[in-house]
Structure 1
């Protein structure tokens, strides 16, 4: 499966393919004004190979591994205007959370516009009034709305839907507040169908020592709901069809460190290792 990423190197924008391997040089292509999401939509419409379509006329530039620390990765397909990106998702979607009160359509939530996305290494801010913060290791679907106003699936990544679960537990009607914490996202966009199975581990460090460790399972087979059904219902609302908008849809998680008895604190470092897909996402939580 083709994996796409975008980055900044020495003040210039680039894109590349694959997940960089330690010790290997990065092969990058100058963006030079290319709209990656529009180019991917065009490639999908024409049946062209996306890698060939994006690199045509853009020779590769190699960055030695010794210089890779200066490469700044970006959230996948994040528009220059963060108002053109909408981050949202579904809650209580997984089979492990099904009970007698399960609804036919899961609750959808708004998380933020594009400025709420943070790649690995960045801090995730939560309000000073937060009650109990938890990580949520999730598959993230990425859609672009085409020129005719139709949302088109472009690929998927992996993220951390940081949530004030304490506020939600205190008052279920406060889900909208609980979800306004910033979100972690890997820069790597997988240009293929959403994964059926994703497995990995979460490690939370405090003061340089592991304070919590656990496992997670996600993917479409872990969902109680049919993915096509819930996405069709979501995009039945024309307010989400503004041409050029990028949608990041978090698909929900199974149990978190909160369910394992961990109480998150300022400065905790959360590392989500999506081992089945070779992606690691690590962020420090800051009470602001």
Structure 2
């Protein structure tokens, strides 16, 4: 099952994707968030709650996209209660990354970079048996719900940014139950969007490089996720493909299991606040930045992961300079 959220008659509307051309309206007072809360409270699956709320109303999917009425497929009524985070060094990556890993096996532990050491920990023990815990991954914070940009809408890059690079990823979407238990609502295509020049200068600036906008969707995938997922990431400039590359994701292509990544996020009490929404990016292995591509305002990111529905598309925009930001004494 795949769901979208959109604006219809100036209201937040949930719809089930029936085909590339048509979606079916689902009756929901608080969007997918409300449906998920209802499923948690009633002990039913989200799919059964959606089916029970289905209506006979159909909408033109292409028209929704064309009029830029798509919304992120999971939102919280209060954006401050949506936390956006992610993990890195989680994917087995390209042949070059694997080659570097093989070479790393031949050197002394003391000669490994911190990144390669963490990557190797994941490769060796990141998929523990059920009920066991593997090593914790790299983790980062992106912001709250205000940093999320809807599909088909421009992603803003700060005036001080040195790079505006896409990161094609799988994102997990969650709602926290009243007892503090995390519930996975589903998955979506994600563009985690980072400043790779800043990160490359010094890895301790990773936190700064991640405090950017992001996008996910347009569709929410509900159900059992395939272990092997194949997608394509591309940059389009003035109607022509500037850069394109395939990417792999899903557990079969990751150093960590999703369960291990989820455990190390939700083990913290402050990430189990009842009613909160979490958007968690699971990492990438393919970047245009690695091929020396410099994205410019007006260029469009396209991330296509067919198993999760319609591609995620966003153009790049630049923010105005807010000026010097030091606080003043009252």
Q: Tell me the TM-score normalized by structure 1.
A: 0.89
Tell me the CA shift for residue 228 of structure 1.
1.4
1:233 to partner: Cα distance:
1.8
- Provide structure 2 residue ranges, at least 5 long, that are not aligned to the other structure: 102-111, 119-134, 320-330
SS in 2 for 1:212: strand
Q: Tell me what 2:249 maps to.
A: 218
Structure 1: distance between partners of 2:41 and 2:61: 36
Q: Is 1:7 paired with 2:38?
A: no
Gaps of 5+ in 1: none
Q: Distance in 2 between matches of 1:37 and 1:26?
A: 19
Larger radius of gyration: 2
Q: Distance in 1 between matches of 2:63 and 2:303?
A: 25
Which of these residues, 102, 106, 114, is aligned with residue 117 of structure 2?
Answer: 102
Of residues 180-189 and 100-109 in structure 1, the stretch that sits farther from structure 2 once superposed is 100-109
Aligned with 1:73 (options 70, 74, 81)? 70
Runs of at least 4 residues of structure 1 off by over 6 A? none
Shift of 1:175: 0.8
* Structure 1 residues 1-288: aligned runs within 5 Å: 2-18=1-17, 20-22=19-21, 25-31=22-28, 33-34=29-30, 36-43=32-39, 48-56=44-52, 59-64=55-60, 68=64, 69-70=66-67, 72-96=69-93, 97=97, 99=101, 100=112, 101-103=116-118, 104-288=135-319
Q: TM-score, normalised by structure 2?
A: 0.79
SS at match of 1:105: coil
Question: Which of 133-142 and 227-236 deviates more?
Answer: 227-236
- Give the superposition deviation at 1:198: 1.7
- 1:12–1:30 contact (8 Å) kept in structure 2: no
- Structure 1 residues 195 and 5, CA, compared in 2 at 3 Å: closer, same or farther? same
CA RMSD of aligned residues (A): 2.3
Distance 1:39 1:65, change over 3 A: closer
Contact 2:159 2:318 in 1 (8 A): yes
Return the structure number with greater helix share. Answer: 2
Report deviation, 1:59.
2.8
Equivalent pairs, count: 284
Pick closer, same or farther for the CA change 1:136–1:66 going to 2, 3 Å. closer
The separation in 2 between residues aligned to 1:184 and 1:237, in whole angstroms, is 25
> Could you report, residue by residue, the CA deviation over 1:106-150 in whole angstroms, capped at 9, with x for unpaired residues?
211111111111222101111122223321111100111100111
